[in-house]
Structure 1
Amino acid sequence: MAIDTREAYRRALDHFGALVHQIKPEHWGNQTPCVDWDVRALVNHVVGESRWASQLLAGRTVADVGDAFDGDLLGDDPVKAFDISATAAAQAVGGERSLTRVVHLSFGDVPGEEYVTELFADALIHTWDLARAIGADERLDPELVEACAIWSAYAKEGGDRQAAAAGEHRQAASDADPQARLLASWGRRG
């Protein structure tokens, strides 16, 4: 990845957060491009990922955390819940050892850099999902799109588990811009 993985994640999460702050009360029930998720469920997912990141990058295991992050994590103030979780995740990812430590996931141990890269890709693609759902500007940061496309191609080639979660690959037009190609590879129609 041409950009530092930690920086890519922070920027993607910041862009997602900027959109969270644009959500109006009537947006929370809007459908997103993610099957079965409305805006609230999508934000809840990203909050959950952020809360997991802060724990897993601190060395805890899935068993240690248990079901603490199941269910509704947004409560009565979804924006505040997002902000708190994003701050904790960004601090954990920005830590000196975040890329070199071993992260204990449900299926096994992975290098921290792999885990943070997956977090980055998830945050970036869900930024587009959220923008689409609330009618905001859908243009993603071109540098992050490029970094994600490189990683996605590598991950899909190797049968990475994140690639399996990306949705059915759609063929983008050969003249499509890089963002459209990336979104198509993640099963989105831009």
Structure 2
Amino acid sequence: MTIDVREAYRRALDDFGVLVHRIGPGQWENPTPCVDWNVRALVNHVVSESLWVPELLAGRSVGEVGDIFDGDLLGDDPPKAFDAAAMAAVHAASAEHALTRVTHLSFGDVPGAEYITELFADALIHTWDLARAIGAGERLDPELVEACAAWFAGAEEGYRQAGVIAEPQPLPPDPDAQTRLLASWGRRA
């Protein structure tokens, strides 16, 4: 990766957060490119994922954390819930030993660097999903797209086998890097 993954993750969450603050009152129920998720469910997913970061980077296992981050985490002020969760996640990911700490994920143990990279990629792709859902500009940060594409080239098959991404989408003639990345994640840009 050409950029420090912690910086990439922070920037991806920042970009997602800008969009969270732009969601209009009537847009929370809008459908997203994520099957079965509306805008509120998508934001709740990113908040939940962010809340897990300090716990997992502190060495706790999924079983130890349990179900405390299940259900609606947005409450009456979704932007505030997002901001607090994102700040805690970025802080945990920036800690001195975050990249080398073993994280105990549901599918096995991985180095913190791999976990943070997965978080970065998820936040980046979901930024596009949210932009599409609320009618905002869909152009992602080109440096983040490049970093994500470089990493995902080696991770795509594992994601596909695990069933966590949709089938790749057909590409138009002469696609740009963002269109190629989104298509590999099952999105039609």
TM-score range, shorter chain: over 0.9
Q: Distance in 1 between matches of 2:161 and 2:131?
A: 22
Which residue of structure 2 lines up, in the alignment, with residue 49 of structure 1?
Answer: 49
Q: Distance in 1 between matches of 2:162 and 2:114?
A: 13
Query: In the alignment, is the contact (CA less than 8 A) between 2:160 and 2:167 conserved in 1?
Result: no
Q: Distance in 1 between matches of 2:163 and 2:98?
A: 24
Q: Distance in 1 between matches of 2:26 and 2:159?
A: 37
Q: CA deviation at 1:16?
A: 0.2
Q: Could you list the structure 1 runs, at least 4 aligned residues long, displaced by more than 6 angstroms after superposition.
A: none
Structure 1-normalised TM-score? Answer: 0.96
- Structure 2: which 5+ runs fail to align? none
Distance verdict in 2 for CA 1:88–1:143, change over 3 Å: same
Which residue of structure 2 lines up, in the alignment, with residue 141 of structure 1?
Answer: 141
Which residue of structure 1 lines up, in the alignment, with residue 150 of structure 2?
Answer: 150
Amino acid at match of 2:164: A
Which residue of structure 1 lines up, in the alignment, with residue 27 of structure 2?
Answer: 27
Three-state SS of the structure 2 residue aligned to 1:165 is: coil
Q: CA deviation at 1:58?
A: 1.2
Q: Distance in 2 between matches of 1:115 and 1:37?
A: 23
Q: Distance in 2 between matches of 1:174 and 1:47?
A: 36
Query: In the alignment, is the contact (CA less than 8 A) between 1:34 and 1:129 conserved in 2?
Result: yes
Which residue of structure 1 lines up, in the alignment, with residue 164 of structure 2?
Answer: 165
Query: In the alignment, is the contact (CA less than 8 A) between 2:2 and 2:147 conserved in 1?
Result: yes
How many residue pairs align between the two structures? 189
Q: Distance in 2 between matches of 1:120 and 1:163?
A: 18
Q: Distance in 2 between matches of 1:183 and 1:166?
A: 11
Amino acid at match of 1:189: R
Q: CA deviation at 1:161?
A: 6.6
Distance verdict in 2 for CA 1:172–1:161, change over 3 Å: closer
Q: How much identity, in percent, do the aligned residues show?
A: 71
Residue 79 (structure 1) aligned with residue 68 (structure 2):
no
Query: In the alignment, is the contact (CA less than 8 A) between 1:28 and 1:39 conserved in 2?
Result: yes
Query: In the alignment, is the contact (CA less than 8 A) between 1:171 and 1:185 conserved in 2?
Result: no
Q: Distance in 1 between matches of 2:160 and 2:167?
A: 13
Which residue of structure 2 lines up, in the alignment, with residue 180 of structure 1?
Answer: 179
- The C-alpha deviation readout for 1:127-149, integer Å capped at 9, x for no partner, is 00000000001000000000111
Three-state SS of the structure 1 residue aligned to 2:71 is: coil
Residue 36 (structure 1) aligned with residue 40 (structure 2):
no
Structure 2-normalised TM-score? Answer: 0.96
Distance verdict in 2 for CA 1:14–1:67, change over 3 Å: same
- The C-alpha deviation readout for 1:148-184, integer Å capped at 9, x for no partner, is 1111111125x24797412111121340111001000
Amino acid at match of 1:185: S
| Superposed CA RMSD | 1.3
